[in-house]
Structure 1
Amino acid sequence: MTSIPGPGRDRLPSLTGLRFWAALLVVLYHLSRQVGTVPYLSETVWYGRSGVTFFFVLSGVVLAWTYDGVRIPTKVFLWRRFARIWPLLAVSVGLSVAVWAVMGHAVRLDAVAATLLVVHAWFPQPVMFTGGNPAAWSLSDEAFFYLIFPALLALLAGRRARVWVWTAVAVTCVALVLWPALSGLSPTTRSWALDYLPLTRALQFVLGVVAGLALKRGWRPPVPLWAAVGLVVGWHLALIPWSHAVPDALWYSPYTASQWLSAPIFAALICAAARADLDGRRTGLGGTWMIRLGHWSFAWYLIHEIVIRAAVFHWGKPAPGAETLLFWAGVLVVSLAAAGTAYHWVEHPAERWLRRAGPSVQHSGRPDPRPTVGAQ
């Protein structure tokens, strides 16, 4: 079995690099839908919200790979996850509410409170799960994943490989059944139940957990990295003719399918990249700048939609063509620069301070796990 890299913030650097590309997919999705389209590119990223599915699977992989075989009190684990996501969430919510106020858009205080308590995705009303910072809905799901992770790890760690295989098959099949099973709900309720509700999205996290456990025990994914990348690209290209044939409002449109059916494909990509790192092979995803951009990706995810909203309010939507492309470029540069600033001045220092201030592990010769790829 290949030895596991030693302690460090980026023991699986390719996964850190992949985080940037997943965040970029979400950013281009929002630019296409909220600003204006760029020929060919917008069609490819029209369902780029699937990048959130990537992050849900990645969280499961990283947490399982990091904490399998390591004894750590649940309160310490949960405090560290709080330190990881909450400070920047609070700052982004404040920034988002300020922009809403400048725009003259009323924001409900209960929606802001629910967002800060990371329970907003449990409410079926759109004004609640998007009220504070629309992009932050996924952190409500992540918070739920963190709560159930210690129990999941206790249940699945140490099992035979066939248990992990059948668990992966089971959660994938449940997703395939839920998608048509909830088709009778109203469009708004169906969208919430499939696209936002932490309970249903947890299927993607569980898939990541069993994949992470398998990787930790030396499993080699049957799909090489280049083929996994091709699967992801091919999947998003296949959504183009589907979107031309079926309106997004219908339950069998590619909107929800792009998020639900992509989980196994993203799991293959994550596992292939991680395996390449463990084998010491170069992937092009672990360079200095890719690592840096990967670290900024969480802040970019939380901030970019606020920048888009402010820019559209101030300048209006651009004319099609070169003006739209220029608008896109400006938003990308400004939002990414803001994300880098937020990472270095808020996210990273706040996490370190809170980790030091909170409960700690009583060392007994076992390694104290540190974030490996900064999964949100």
Structure 2
Amino acid sequence: MRHGTRPRRPAADLSGRDRLASLTGLRFWAALLVVLYHLSRQVGQIPGVSEAAWYGRSGVTFFFVLSGFVLAWTYDGKQVPARVFLWRRFARIWPLLATTTVLSVGAWVALGKAVSAKAVVASLLLVHAWIPDNVVLKGGNPAAWSLSDEAWFYLVFPLLMALPAVRSGRGRRWIWGMVCVGTVLVWLSGSLIADPSLRVWALDYLPLTRTLQFLLGLVTGLAVARGWRPPIGLWAAVVLTIAWHLALVPWSQAVPDALWYSPYQASQLLSAPVFALLVAAAARADQDGRRTGLGGAWTVRLGHWSFAWYLIHEVVIRVWLGKLGRPEGVLDTAQVWLVVIVVSLALSACAYHWVEHPLERLLRRAGPRVPPGDSRVPGPRPGAGLARTR
């Protein structure tokens, strides 16, 4: 080794639960973006922070992209029966969905609000995002609508992975480009829907619309797993993500949310390629064993809690507003923000350690398993991702 040269860190161990620790850390920041969005719009605004997080609902788009990426990364080259895959996903999301739905319904009752039995059943069956009815969408646990989309992604995931185009580098490049074009076309299609509530459902909630984001994550995950290096590094991707959200600030000041060309739908639809680059850059950094600042012990721990936090924080906001009302003044608003964040995070930690994680393990042990000797597809994995392997 030449004098003055720093030894290269060994490649990261990608065999454990947090094989891509930076992605787990990013989950927390995406959840925080959603939390700040709800705090800004429901509790009250804090100058500077609220403007930047005014379209923080785009954090859900990040989770859809991340879901496709992680599933493709995890199951690439593996032969897992559909029943095993679907049971694993059920064990992953349904126990916490059921628990937080009970918590949410309890909050509605405590506040003296009517509860729609149809909405609760639709939520527990994970079909509520298919129904263009605001009561059904939000009558169980309002934040849980995205799990209806995720359930759809899980159903189509084995079919998407079987597509010949997905299994080739050239095909993935074409899919990446077509999804980006399709995303713009979906956004432009908002101009054809005159009813604002119907437009919001069709572009924000409908699982078919959101499938493009999942597919983008899927082909990006396969590409990175097979050697592709994104064109920008992690911190350039972080800067790009921040710049995108800051660019929405003057746009929002010029165009009301009710108009189809406002940044409301654009922030969620057009952000998908930006998030795909961010996820790919973070995963690539972990593969190379580079420190990212996102994979520390506490960041990973918060990432583990992020799913529960996403489902619980809105319930805490709702109870606070129902009992104490909206605060007045920036200082009071900041204090309520702090209380909501601390309380909801504490509840999320309890939910993760006492409900989500143990019940997932219990259900996975009780459910179907991969037959012995049938865990991998024979033969080498194809090369090249979105571009040729370097």
TM-score by length of 1: 0.95
**Residues 254-269 of structure 1: matches in 2 within 5 Å?**
254-269=263-278
User: Letter of the aligned partner of 1:241 in structure 2?
Assistant: P
CA shift, 1:103, in A, is: 1.0
Residues 6 and 273 (structure 1), Cα distance of their counterparts in 2 relative to 1, 3 Å cut: closer
196-205 or 180-189, larger mean C-alpha shift: 180-189
Provide the C-alpha distance between the structure 2 equivalents of 1:258 and 1:92, rounded to a whole number of angstroms: 27
1:14 matched to 2:22: yes
Alignment partner of 1:40 out of 19, 30, 48:
48
Corresponding residue for residue 309 of structure 2:
300
User: Which residue number corresponds to residue 216 of structure 2?
Assistant: 207
Aligned-residue sequence identity (percent) comes to 65
Counterparts of 2:178 and 2:33, CA distance in 1: 28
CA shift digits 1:107-137 (9 cap, x unpaired) = 2101100000000000011111111000000
Partner of 2:80: 72
Amino acid at match of 1:332: I
Q: Which SS does the other structure have where 2:191 is aligned?
A: coil
Aligned equivalent of 1:225: 234
CA distance in 2, matches of 1:316, 1:148: 43
**What RMSD in Å do the two structures reach over aligned CA positions?**
1.5
Give the aligned partner of residue 388 of structure 2: none
Residue 120 of structure 1 pairs with residue 162 of structure 2: no
Separation in structure 1 between the aligned mates of residue 334 and residue 154 of structure 2, nearest angstrom? 39
For structure 2, the 5+ residue unaligned runs are: 1-9, 378-390
* Deviation at residue 184 of structure 1 after TM alignment: 2.4
Asked if the contact 1:307–1:331 (Cα under 8 Å) also holds between the matched residues in 2, the reply is: yes
Structure 2 equivalent of residue 100 of structure 1: 108
d(CA) in 1 for partners of 2:112 and 2:358?
Answer: 33
Residues 241-280 of structure 1, C-alpha deviation per residue, up to 9 Å, x if partnerless? 0000000000000000000000000000000000000000
Alignment equivalent of 2:330, drawn from 321, 324, 332: 321
Alpha-carbon separation, structure 2, partners of 1:206 and 1:10: 22
The C-alpha deviation readout for 1:282-314, integer Å capped at 9, x for no partner, is 000001101100000000000000000001112
Return the match for 1:146 from 140, 154, 167.
Answer: 154
Q: Residues 137 and 196 of structure 1 are in contact (CA less than 8 Å); yes or no, is this contact kept in structure 2?
A: yes
- Mapped to 2, the partners of 1:328 and 1:139 lie a distance apart of 25
1:333 and 2:311 matched: no
Q: What is the CA–CA distance in structure 1 between the aligned matches of 2:51 and 2:127, rounded to whole Å? A: 33
- Determine the C-alpha separation between the residues in 2 that align with 1:351 and 1:158: 30
Deviations 1:337-367 (A, max 9, x none): 0000000000000000000000011121747
Distance 2:201 2:48 in 1: 29
Contact 1:121 1:138 in 2 (8 A): yes
User: What is the alpha-carbon distance in structure 2 between the residues aligned to residue 157 and residue 68 of structure 1?
Assistant: 14
Match of 2:182 among 174, 182, 197: 174
- Per mean C-alpha deviation after superposition, the further-off stretch among 307-316 and 76-85 is 307-316
Q: Runs of 4 or more off by more than 6 Å in structure 1?
A: none
Kindly state the Cα deviation for residue 160 of structure 1 after the two structures are TM-superposed: 2.4
Change (3 A) 1:61 1:69: same
Equivalent-residue separation in structure 2 for 1:213 and 1:290 (angstroms): 25
Q: Is the 8 A contact 1:68 1:157 kept in 2?
A: no
Alpha-carbon distance in structure 2 between the residues aligned to 1:250 and 1:190: 10
- 1:89 is matched with which residue: 70, 88, 97? 97
CA contact (8 A) 1:37 1:320 kept: no
Measure, in 2, the Cα distance between the counterparts of 1:219 and 1:35.
Answer: 43
CA contact (8 A) 1:60 1:206 kept: yes
Does the CA-based 8 Å contact 1:122-1:197 persist in structure 2? yes
In structure 2, how many angstroms separate the alpha carbons of the residues matched to 1:203 and 1:354?
30
Instruction: State how far apart, in whole Å, the 2-side matches of 1:156 and 1:25 are.
Output: 36
Is the contact between residue 157 and residue 213 of structure 1 (CA under 8 Å) also seen in structure 2?
no
Q: CA deviation at 1:315?
A: 1.4
2:144 is aligned to 136
The answer to whether the 8 A contact 1:300-1:336 is kept is yes
Query: C-alpha distance in 2, partners of 1:365/1:144?
Result: 26
Specify the SS of the correspondent of 2:64: helix
Structure 1 or 2, whichever has the larger Rg, is 2
Amino acid at match of 2:102: G
Aligned residues between the structures? 367
Paired with 2:138 and 2:250, the residues of 1 have a C-alpha distance of 30
